[in-house]
Amino acid sequence: MKVMERCFGQYWSPYVAMGLAGLLSAVYFGITGTVWAVTGEFTRLGGHVLEMFGVDISDWAYFKLIHMDGTTWSRTDGWIVWGMFIGALCTILFSNNFKIRVPRQKRRLVQGLIGGIIAGAGARLALGCNLAAFFTGVPQFSLHSWIFIVATAAGTYLGTKLVNTSWWKGKPVLLKGGLTSQSGSSRKIQPYIGGLIMLAYAGLIVYFFLTGRTMLGVAAIFGAAFGILIERGQICFTSAFRDLWISGRATMTKAISFGMAISSVATLAIILAYGLDPITKIAAPSTLVGGILFGLGIVMAGGCETGMMYRLMEGQIVFLPVFIGNIIGATVLAYAWDHLGVYSLLVQSGAPINLIAELGPSAALIVTLLLLGLSFVIAMYWQKNYRFGTGFKKGA
């Protein structure tokens, strides 16, 4: 029990969580040749739903691009997603933090859905969310990631301006009495439920390995590990940007920069040791537009993909429409890709550009670390000098 208290009695430092996530994402790439990502699988889920209703998606170019082989239960990307949900849920139960929470303003459900749709469409337009086009894109030395980061920053800035308007906030809802708390019996039983779920999940992983589906087992392990880390570190890319614009708080921003630096070093070592090709996405106008939409959408929704996942597992009902919205937005983008000319308008003119190919391994790493270091320093300066409601200190 003392070990449980130490691990789950309080949240972990986001630096520790992001540093470990950076290392694990590099190792996962070395084992599977793929990266930690979620919205690609969200898009496939949307495709499967359409198929259930008799829609023929076999000629949709976007689904050909991301591949629709098998089901979400037979893909490594699927088990990364479900593993993240399960890992986050178990740690929430271990720490007695599960509680159904319904937003006081029902408009938040609609706002979450709209924000999720915009974020999902933006992420897939840029060919990745805050993970594949951001946290794992930078360590893969793909130029598109840096375009996406700048665009996401701009989008979150616009988002903070939007959500702070009176018409978005609506009238405050006052409830009589205090918030209800969990019953003592609920708090006592939660860790045991978490333990049972974890045991069942471990059994599933063993089953994967025994039946020769090794990569599914690996994905299930890493997915759960990522879920544990994002929940214990309360990792949310939305807050990393939104807090800068609103309060000047930069802890999450600095932690993410730190995690990307760790992952960049580890990923390059794995690339050179095993002769792997880094995963490079197209840098195009779509990256810029998608990043802006993604940044806007995650602020409207109140959380990015990682934040949405563990908050939904905490019982925050508002993030269920955010999850559904992400799938809808990604699926709409998949349709618009070729049917509405999005590819020819925003993507076709671009090209996959990798810093390793352009600069060489050493220079690519140096440039990446310098940019991440600069981001860290700017975040430090911002946190020291920016104040809510007043902006920067005079003379800062």
Q: What is the mean pLDDT of residues 271-286?
A: 96
pLDDT at 6: 63
Residue 99 resides in a domain: yes
* Range in 7-21, 81-95, 289-303, 356-370 with the lowest mean pLDDT: 7-21
| Model pLDDT for residues 289-326, shown as the tens digit of each residue | 999 999 999 999 998 889 999 999 999 999 999 999 99
| Model pLDDT for residues 325-351, shown as the tens digit of each residue | 999 999 999 999 999 999 999 999 999
Residue 150 resides in a domain: yes
Per the document, the length of the chain is: 396
pLDDT at 174: 58
Residue 119: HSE in the Cβ half-sphere, 13 Å Cα cutoff: 37
pLDDT at 273: 96
- Structural domain for 121, as ranges: 2-167+189-386
Which DSSP symbol is given to 104? S
Spatial separation of the C-alpha atoms in residues 376 and 17, rounded to whole Å: 17
Residue 32 resides in a domain: yes
Number of structural domains in the chain:
1
Residue 393 resides in a domain: no
Q: Please give the structure tokens belonging to residue 46.
A: 């949307």
* Mean per-residue pLDDT of the chain: 91
Spatial separation of the C-alpha atoms in residues 59 and 248, rounded to whole Å: 47
Amino acid code (one letter) for 76: T
Residue 179 resides in a domain: no
Residue 47 makes CB contacts below 8 A (sequence gap 6+) with: 57, 60, 63, 68, 331, 334
Residue 176 resides in a domain: no
| Model pLDDT for residues 141-185, shown as the tens digit of each residue | 999 999 999 999 999 999 999 999 988 888 766 555 444 445 556
